[in-house]
Amino acid sequence: MILGQPKQLPLNTFPTWKYLMVVAVILLGILLALPNIFGEDYAVQISDKRGEPVPQEVLTAIESKLSENEISIKQTELTDGRGLIRLINSDDQNEAKRIAFQFVQNHESDDIKNNLVVAANLAAATPDWLSNLGLSPMKLGLDLRGGVHFLLEVDLDGLFKKEQEKAVTSVKAILYENKIYYESIEPRNETAVVARFKTQELQEKAFSEINQQLQGFTIQDQEVDGSYLLTFTMTEDKLREIRDFAVKKNVTTLSNRINAIGVAEPLIQRQGTNRIIVQLPGIQDTATARSIIGDTRTLEFRLVNTKRSVSEAVAGRVPFDSELLKESDGRPVLVFKEAMLDGEHVTGAGTSADERGFPQINIQLDGAGGSIMAEKSGKNIDKPMAIILTEVTPIFKQNEYGDFVKNEQGELIKIGENITKEAVSVATIQSTLGSSFRITGQFTQQYASNLALILKSGSLKAPIYVIEDSTVGPSLGAENIQNGTNSIIIGFVLVLIFMLLRYKVFGVVANIALVCNLVLIVGVMSLIGAVLTLPGMAGIVLTVGMAVDANVLIFERIREELKDGMSPARAIHNGYDAALSTIADANITTAIAALILFAIGTGPIKGFAITLLFGILTSMFTAIVGSRALINLIYGKKSVKKLAI
């Protein structure tokens, strides 16, 4: 041995750190996969759509109601402000949901009645010691376990009405600037505005001025009972443009929101002229998903009208260009109807604490929004600005289970509508605002976090509301799901038997590596929150074959080396070394194909690709490193004359 050189290990031996690495990886994989053996509980979840904690007394009262109705409860818990009642079976879950919903709807407190959400759920039964480590079971797709289905409707009537209100304000402003006196200006049929004048001269003058400035409207003049009218009607092109842009913008916003809450392989698509389908596979927290996705609030930045008295507005004398709203603490505030900026220019939002330790929201605007905000805020320094959240919530008829009731045509029965506008923050503009600024208000950290998420993902162009909210069962049926599971089991067992009979001791080693490979796949997919679909199960079956194929190549090469007269130790060494390049080439080409499928595929194709990709990575480790570590333990440092292969 030459001094200064490291000691050479005998053939078929690993340094100690390699053995420890293999053991550590396998143990880590077992730990990550462990939550999957505990399954899930049927549950009913109660949460507050504002992000506020559910009162303990409400959860206790619901638990008492369930006990009175002889419904067995496995466990009741209040975690992160949300109540969760775990139950024995699906029948108990349905009955518990009905009782909890009725309790909330009949509660004497409007705060409880209007803000608590009751949802059926599947809650992971993972032990606390695993949950505390941040571990959770692998999610299953809609075709395996089901998920959450939302049918959303874009409030086009509200959107058209908003455009109509803008037209009314614009017409009044044009007439005021040109000193053209009118008798009245009133909306009609949500897409038209009618202006009434005393004389034909005023009518003609108004027509001339408005026709030059008001875009997207046709103007018709007529005389009715001695009054001269101008009727402004939105053109079909404008109506279609407003509708299509609103739906497309809302689809984009919903996609951003869903990505923000970490849902894999969602389905978000337009249905008809003004509806959107959202399917969330494998999701567990249905109530939170509903509160984020179904949040119908739209955002606007408006100036506060300080020229008119708030007390006069409260008394009923509200200026035509203004609107009387309330701040979060209930104080009245008079704001202009025209917005300085709306939420579609918001590109980012986050939370932090102000100098007093209270939550604040930091907002970033895009380039156009920053320019608009700089221009308008620069002209209004020392004036108060309000941030307005508007929510339009239709009221539909519901049955005793909380499900919506439909008429004979399959349409929801609408019984009313709630329009809520709130000034969440009113602050004085102290200097010119740019693309980055902050808002403060009397809100909790959870409320601030949810609001920041909504702002960051984008404000809705038009209000939306959830007209159908249901848990979707497996779309392919229990029989196909069972067939998919059986295919994995049968394929796995047959491979184990073949390897054992064909390669004896080496076959046992390959089988151990194959079991470890499956554990690692499940562990990695659980760690990253990947969703397992039926095509994903097909990917696992393919991975089983590919994983053992690597060992077949190695073992056959060892046999060839033995036939050529090599010693057992040298045959093992040459077999692994010579087969490595072939195995690497085959797996790299397959991995490239999997990456392409993942990049350009959607839905089930992505599920197949991601499972296949993880399977390739784990099989390379177990088939080459893991199996060799076992072979080295068995045959390393030994003088053997014959191999059991």
CATH code of 506's domain: 1.20.1640.10
Residues 494, 432 within the same domain: no
Q: Which residue has the higher pLDDT, 396 or 384?
A: 384
Q: Is 615 left (phi over 0), alpha (psi -120 to 50) or beta?
A: alpha
Share of the chain above pLDDT 70, in %: 84
Cα–Cα distance between 475 and 473 in angstroms, integer?
6
Pick from 38-47, 293-302, 625-634 the range whose average pLDDT is largest: 625-634
Residues 629, 501 within the same domain: yes
Query: Phi/psi at 94 (nearest 5 deg)?
Result: -65, -45
pLDDT of the residue at 4: 47
Residues 487, 444 within the same domain: no
pLDDT of the residue at 175: 87
| DSSP states along 303-346 | EB--SS-HHHHHTT---TTEEEEEETTS-EEEEESS-SEEGGGE
User: 10 lies in a domain?
Assistant: no
Residues 408, 555 within the same domain: no
Residue numbers of the domain that contains 60: 37-137
User: 482 lies in a domain?
Assistant: yes
Q: Which two tokens stand for residue 191?
A: 């897409």
Report the domain count for the chain. Answer: 4
Cα–Cα distance between 548 and 528 in angstroms, integer?
25
User: 288 lies in a domain?
Assistant: no
Residues 51, 100 within the same domain: yes
User: 270 lies in a domain?
Assistant: no
pLDDT of the residue at 334: 93
| Res. 296 pLDDT band, cuts 50 70 90 | low
pLDDT of the residue at 492: 81
Residues 442, 516 within the same domain: no
Question: Does residue 234 register a pLDDT over 60?
Answer: yes
pLDDT of the residue at 457: 58
User: 203 lies in a domain?
Assistant: yes
Residues 98, 198 within the same domain: no
| Res. 2 pLDDT band, cuts 50 70 90 | very low
pLDDT of the residue at 291: 61
- All residues at 6 or more sequence positions from 409 whose CB lies less than 8 Å from its CB, including other chains: none
Query: Phi/psi at 3 (nearest 5 deg)?
Result: -60, 140
Residues 126, 167 within the same domain: no
Last residue of a domain, one of 186, 203, 238: 238
Question: Does residue 218 register a pLDDT over 60?
Answer: yes
> CATH code at 58?
3.30.70.330
Cα–Cα distance between 397 and 409 in angstroms, integer?
15
Residues 129, 204 within the same domain: no
Residues 309, 418 within the same domain: yes
User: 6 lies in a domain?
Assistant: no
Q: Which two tokens stand for residue 329?
A: 């603490």
Last residue of a domain, one of 417, 434, 459: 459
> CATH code at 385?
3.30.1360.200
pLDDT in tens, 329-377: 778 999 998 888 877 777 777 778 777 777 777 888 888 888 888 888 8
Pick from 26-40, 263-277, 287-301, 460-474 the range whose average pLDDT is largest: 26-40
Cα–Cα distance between 608 and 483 in angstroms, integer?
17
Cα–Cα distance between 604 and 597 in angstroms, integer?
10
Question: Does residue 284 register a pLDDT over 60?
Answer: no
Q: Which two tokens stand for residue 332?
A: 């009245």
Residues 198, 332 within the same domain: no
Average of per-residue pLDDT across 469-483: 62
Share of the chain above pLDDT 90, in %: 7
pLDDT in tens, 594-626: 889 888 776 677 778 888 888 888 988 988 888
> CATH code at 230?
3.30.70
User: 249 lies in a domain?
Assistant: no
pLDDT of the residue at 267: 74
Residues 500, 410 within the same domain: no
| Res. 32 pLDDT band, cuts 50 70 90 | very high
Last residue of a domain, one of 413, 431, 459: 459
H or E element in which residue 208 lies? helix 200-213
Q: What is the DSSP letter of 69?
A: T
Mean of the per-residue pLDDT values of the chain: 80
pLDDT in tens, 553-567: 888 888 888 888 888
| DSSP states along 552-593 | HHHHHHHHHHHHTT--HHHHHHHHHHHHHHHHHHHHHHHHHH
Describe the strand order of the beta sheet including 40-48 as a list of residue ranges: 73-79, 82-87, 40-48, 116-124
Question: Does residue 193 register a pLDDT over 90?
Answer: no
Among 70, 68, 73, residue whose Cα is nearest residue 88: 73
Residue 151 contacts residue 466 (beta carbons within 8 Å)? yes
Pick from 299-313, 416-430, 443-457 the range whose average pLDDT is largest: 299-313
User: 471 lies in a domain?
Assistant: no
